[in-house]
Amino acid sequence: MLKNRIIPCLDVKNGRVVKGINFVDLKDAGDPVEQAKIYSDGGADEICFLDITASNENRDTIYEVVEKTSKKCFVPLTVGGGVRSVDDINKLLNCGADKVSINTAAVENSKVVADSSKKFGSQCIVVAIDAKKNGDKWEVFTHGGRNNSGIDALEYAKKMEDSGAGELLVTSMDRDGTQVGYDIELMSKISSKVNIPLIASGGVGNLDHLVEGIKSGKASAVLAASIFHYGKYSVKEAKQYLESKGIPVRT
């Protein structure tokens, strides 16, 4: 039976891990290579690096981080943030990333998704959707949550599936950093609309939130950052809890 995945996400800036509260107010939380290794040894099913301010800054640090991490971690590594082109994706994959997540570039030009999934296979193309509720719909935001594209998130999710995305990483902008739980309605609506796996992100504050993300949000995988980074829970504890709630996990 396929297991639901727990993915610790490390937000990386200038080669260091930082915590993001609504994408601002950053705190240093350590070395990404060491952290990734601790997570993979602790049972993380995948590791995710998001280079959060990469759109505006020198990107070379992330390549180095990915290269070093992939020599120490033998679980899948997803890298995103500031990925603009097929060439960027190629570079990250060559450094040892297993999947690359594309956000702003996919909104601006879905051809990047189509071209890269054709070139490298859809298994390594994750489309990251930052969505914020507006009335009774959700809109897709770009540039690390700074710009509203006005695009409907549900329709966009379907379009990305059709363009060749292998997975969707859906973050609720409203919930990110709040620790009140995933936006379950958003997750389940997108998951029901597409036939590719959904990774839920944004808002995890406790282990019940992970359970909700899978059971009610219909997510294949749950992504969380701060609950793991500051030792509130270990990945192992999270897995034991999920298992106690009848969710299949890798133990």
Partner 1 sequence: MNVTIVDYKSGNISSVINSFKEVAQNKIKIDVTSDVSKIKSTDKVVLPGQGSFKSCVDALQSINGLVDCLNDFVMNKKKPLLGICVGLQMFADVGYEELETKGLGWIPGKVTKIDNQNGKYKLPHIGWNQINLVKKSKIFKDIKDKSHMYFVHSYEFVPTDKSSISATTEYSSKHVCAVEKENIFGTQFHPEKSDKTGLKIINNFINL
Stretch that binds partner 1, among 68-76, 138-146, 179-187, 224-232 (CB under 8 A): 68-76
Using the rule CB under 8 A, which residue among 48, 50, 62, 97 binds partner 1?
Answer: 97
User: Residue 202 Cβ, how far from partner 1 at the closest point, in Å?
Assistant: 20
34 sits near partner 1 (criterion: CB under 8 A) = no
φ, ψ of residue 115 to 5 degrees: the values are -65, -45
* Dihedral (Cα; 33, 176, 173, 4), 10-degree rounding: 70
24 sits near partner 1 (criterion: CB under 8 A) = no
Q: Are 128 and 157 in contact (CB under 8 A)?
A: no
Helices first, then strands: H and E counts in the chain: 10, 12
> How many other CB atoms sit within 10 Å of the CB of residue 195?
8
Looking at the Cβ atoms of 44 and 52, the one nearer to partner 1 is 44
Q: Is residue 183 among the annotated active site residues?
A: no
* Dihedral (Cα; 9, 15, 16, 20), 10-degree rounding: -50
Looking at the Cβ atoms of 17 and 95, the one nearer to partner 1 is 95
Nearest Cα to Cα of residue 219 among 167, 157, 159 = 167
Q: Is residue 130 among the annotated active site residues?
A: yes
79 sits near partner 1 (criterion: CB under 8 A) = no
User: Residue 178 Cβ, how far from partner 1 at the closest point, in Å?
Assistant: 27
Looking at the Cβ atoms of 28 and 41, the one nearer to partner 1 is 41
Stretch that binds partner 1, among 10-18, 121-129, 133-141, 234-242 (CB under 8 A): 121-129
225 sits near partner 1 (criterion: CB under 8 A) = no
Stretch that binds partner 1, among 52-60, 96-104, 176-184, 209-217 (CB under 8 A): 96-104
Exposure letters 49-58 (e unless 16+ CB within 10 A, then b):
bbbbbbbeee
Looking at the Cβ atoms of 16 and 119, the one nearer to partner 1 is 119
70 sits near partner 1 (criterion: CB under 8 A) = yes
The rounded distance, in Å, linking the Cα atoms of 182 and 220 is: 14
User: Residue 179 Cβ, how far from partner 1 at the closest point, in Å?
Assistant: 26
Using the rule CB under 8 A, which residue among 28, 30, 108, 123 binds partner 1?
Answer: 123
Contacts (CB under 8 A) with partner 1, residues 131-190 = 166-167
42 sits near partner 1 (criterion: CB under 8 A) = no
DSSP reduced 3-state for 232: coil
Q: Are 182 and 61 in contact (CB under 8 A)?
A: no
The rounded distance, in Å, linking the Cα atoms of 117 and 226 is: 31
Burial of 2 per CB tally in 10 Å (0-12, 13-18, 19+): exposed
User: Which amino acids are annotated catalytic?
Assistant: 11, 130
Return residues touching partner 1 (CB under 8 A).
Answer: 1-5, 40, 45, 70-71, 74-77, 93-98, 119-124, 166-167, 195-197, 220-221, 250
